Amino acid sequence: MFPRKLTTLIVAALCLCVVSTTFHPVAFAQKKKAPVEATPPPVNEEFKFGEVDLEILEQSDLLDHRLERDGLVLADDAANSYINRIGRSLVPKDLALERVSWRFRTLRDPQPNAFALPNGSIYVTTGLISLIDNETQLAAILAHELTHVMRRHTYLQNRSNRKKFLTMNIMSAVGSYAPLSLVGAVVMAVTTVAPFIMIATMYGYSRDLEREADLKGIDMMISAEYAPEEMVQVMKSLDKDIEGENIRLFYNDHPSLDERIKYLSNYLGARADKVTAQMELNREREAYFRNMSSVMRHNVQLAINAGRFRSAVYFAQRLVDFRPDSENLFWLAESYRTLGPRAQELTEKQLTNSAMKDAAKKREKRTTEEEERDLLATPAGKENWEQHQKKAEELYLRALATDSPVPVTHRGLGMLYEKLGRTNDAVAEYQKYIDMSPSAPDHERIQRRIESLGKP
């Protein structure tokens, strides 16, 4: 047993630990006073590198290398130079940050997201590039990520988390040796509750940093002559829940999108009043789509591969709206064909939190083929399937009627006919495809399909 004075001291020390690690000075400062004037660049001048930070930096360099080595970075020179130009326009020319080298890259991932590594590498996924409408919105994303790097958020969060982990571990050690007495029970109670408080503060701190990145990002946009209200539009686009994934959780490391839209709109205030000619130019949708169409098409394929069929239809439709009589028709046809028996849009009921949780559980269990089989057993699924196959055929044929049809259209049509049981038509289309693209990477695959369909 511990002497009574000592145990009281331990309890007091534990409480102090929880309190002191719960409230971070940055969080305090932010809650008291949000920045009022644009003060670019939002560099964290006081930051000094420590050993722990250098380790994080090394890991970031290795992660960069890994992403590239694993074929996850998009090697599209035109798109990369476009995103690079926008990113660099947000960074003041004379700004030199210690151990930061700016790199703006596109990540081959259909899920809308963006992230920054503390070494200055900023990645925007193909999914996010496809979701937004213009250069200014891309600038908003980059400004947010640039702020994370300039304010050294990763290092600060890592430092803060390390303290909290240490506190949690010490508490759990103390808790497991608590004496069997009233004081022991109090120690146990404190040490049991403390980890939850710690985790909540970790997420809370993360949310504070995200908020700061949003607000400072707006300032950076204004300095680079990008209309700041487009940041709100980005949040609204992210809020579009095409796949039914925006499940509300108890812990969140980002503020909710509703909250972000609200505080960004408040912060904008008079800042959004001044609109220059350059700002208008940067908001041009046409120019953005012209520069990013190849990335968007690539993303449709990635979305199909990932089973994000509704997103594929949504993105392909945007491409067709932008340029109808083109290869884009093929991508929309592919999206409809693979959408199969699924409904094109989720209903309100399917977008409730519990329904989305159930759907997520099912996704973890069922393969795509099993999901399709189950849906096809329902009248609604069958109807969807018929509608989508019809739509796909119509689009493939329209794609073939354009001035420069892409050979893969024949492959898509072949796959559609194969599924519809129109064997001869399928073989004919497959044959056309391999005749037109003898060196296609899927030549063998299609050849085998022809052979297997030819068998009695």
Partner 1 sequence: MTLHKSRNEQLSSLRRLTNANLIFVSTLFLIALTSQSIHAQFIHPKIKSKETTIRNVVVLPAKVNVVRDSMKGPEGMAAESDELGVRIEKMIAEVLLKEKQITTQPPPSATATDGGSQQQYNVADFQTKFDDLLPKIFKKRSDVKKGRFSMGDEVLNLNLDKSVDAIVFIRGEGKKLTGGKTAFRLLVGGVPAHLKLQIGIVDARKGDVLVYTDPVLVGDPTTAVDRLRDALRKGFKKLPAASAK
The distance of closest approach from Cβ of residue 203 to partner 1 in the complex, given in angstroms and rounded to an integer, is 10
Provide the 10 A C-beta neighbour count for residue 218.
Answer: 27
Decide: is 62 part of the binding site for partner 1 (CB under 8 A).
Answer: yes
Number of residues engaging partner 1 in binding (CB under 8 A): 69
Decide: is 247 part of the binding site for partner 1 (CB under 8 A).
Answer: yes
Chosen residue from 90, 107, 213, 406 binding partner 1 by CB under 8 A: 213
Decide: is 332 part of the binding site for partner 1 (CB under 8 A).
Answer: no
Of 115, 57, 124, 42, the closest CA to residue 84 belongs to: 124
Decide: is 148 part of the binding site for partner 1 (CB under 8 A).
Answer: yes
What single string gives the DSSP state of each residue in 64-124?
HHHHHHTT-B---HHHHHHHHHHHHHHS-TT---TT---EEEEE--SS--EEE-TTSEEEE
In the complex with partner 1, which residue's Cβ is closer, 145 or 398?
145
Site stretch for partner 1 (CB under 8 A), options 138-146, 262-270, 278-286, 316-324: 138-146
Of 154, 124, 137, the closest CA to residue 47 belongs to: 154
The distance of closest approach from Cβ of residue 324 to partner 1 in the complex, given in angstroms and rounded to an integer, is 27
Decide: is 145 part of the binding site for partner 1 (CB under 8 A).
Answer: yes
Decide: is 219 part of the binding site for partner 1 (CB under 8 A).
Answer: no
Chosen residue from 13, 29, 95, 166 binding partner 1 by CB under 8 A: 166
The distance of closest approach from Cβ of residue 267 to partner 1 in the complex, given in angstroms and rounded to an integer, is 17
33: three-class secondary structure by DSSP = coil
308 is written with which tokens?
Answer: 């994000």
Of 188, 153, 190, 191, the closest CA to residue 170 belongs to: 191
Decide: is 248 part of the binding site for partner 1 (CB under 8 A).
Answer: yes
What is the Rg, in whole angstroms, of the alpha carbon atoms belonging to the chain?
A: 27
Site stretch for partner 1 (CB under 8 A), options 264-272, 327-335, 388-396, 442-450: 442-450
Of 109, 113, 116, 74, the closest CA to residue 91 belongs to: 116
Chosen residue from 286, 374, 444, 451 binding partner 1 by CB under 8 A: 444
Q: Are 312 and 324 in contact (CB under 8 A)?
A: no
Q: Rounded CA gap, 87 and 214, in Å?
A: 16
125: three-class secondary structure by DSSP = strand
Entry field: residues in the chain = 456
Chosen residue from 32, 33, 365, 455 binding partner 1 by CB under 8 A: 365
Decide: is 360 part of the binding site for partner 1 (CB under 8 A).
Answer: yes
Q: Provide the mask over 168-207, with x wherever binding to partner 1 is found by CB under 8 A and - wherever it is not.
A: -x--xx--x-------------------------------
For 420, half-sphere exposure in the C-beta direction (CA atoms, 13 angstrom radius) is: 21
Chosen residue from 154, 201, 291, 311 binding partner 1 by CB under 8 A: 154
Ramachandran angles phi, psi of 106, nearest 5°:
-105, 130
In the complex with partner 1, which residue's Cβ is closer, 57 or 329?
57
Site stretch for partner 1 (CB under 8 A), options 180-188, 328-336, 375-383, 439-447: 439-447
In the complex with partner 1, which residue's Cβ is closer, 243 or 327?
243
Decide: is 111 part of the binding site for partner 1 (CB under 8 A).
Answer: yes
In the complex with partner 1, which residue's Cβ is closer, 5 or 248?
248
Q: Are 97 and 227 in contact (CB under 8 A)?
A: no
Decide: is 257 part of the binding site for partner 1 (CB under 8 A).
Answer: yes
The distance of closest approach from Cβ of residue 311 to partner 1 in the complex, given in angstroms and rounded to an integer, is 12
**Interior angle at CA 289, CA 132 and CA 81, nearest 5:** 90
Whether the ω angle into residue 379 lies within 30 degrees of 0, i.e. cis, is no
Decide: is 128 part of the binding site for partner 1 (CB under 8 A).
Answer: yes
The distance of closest approach from Cβ of residue 70 to partner 1 in the complex, given in angstroms and rounded to an integer, is 6
Decide: is 77 part of the binding site for partner 1 (CB under 8 A).
Answer: no
Strand partners, 357: none
388 is written with which tokens?
Answer: 């989508």
Site stretch for partner 1 (CB under 8 A), options 5-13, 97-105, 156-164, 426-434: 156-164
Write the DSSP symbol of residue 250. Answer: S
Q: Are 223 and 40 in contact (CB under 8 A)?
A: yes
In order of 26, 140, 197, 247, 338, the CA distances from 153 in angstroms are 11, 18, 21, 26, 41
Of 12, 9, 22, the closest CA to residue 163 belongs to: 22
Write the DSSP symbol of residue 343. Answer: -
Decide: is 367 part of the binding site for partner 1 (CB under 8 A).
Answer: yes
In the complex with partner 1, which residue's Cβ is closer, 276 or 305?
305
Site stretch for partner 1 (CB under 8 A), options 7-15, 55-63, 81-89, 181-189: 55-63
Contact positions vs partner 1 (CB under 8 A): 55-56, 58-59, 62-63, 66, 70-72, 75, 108, 111-116, 128, 141, 144-145, 148, 153-154, 157, 161-166, 169, 172-173, 176, 209-210, 213, 238, 243, 245-249, 251-254, 257, 302, 305-307, 356-357, 360, 364-367, 369, 441-442, 444-445, 448-449
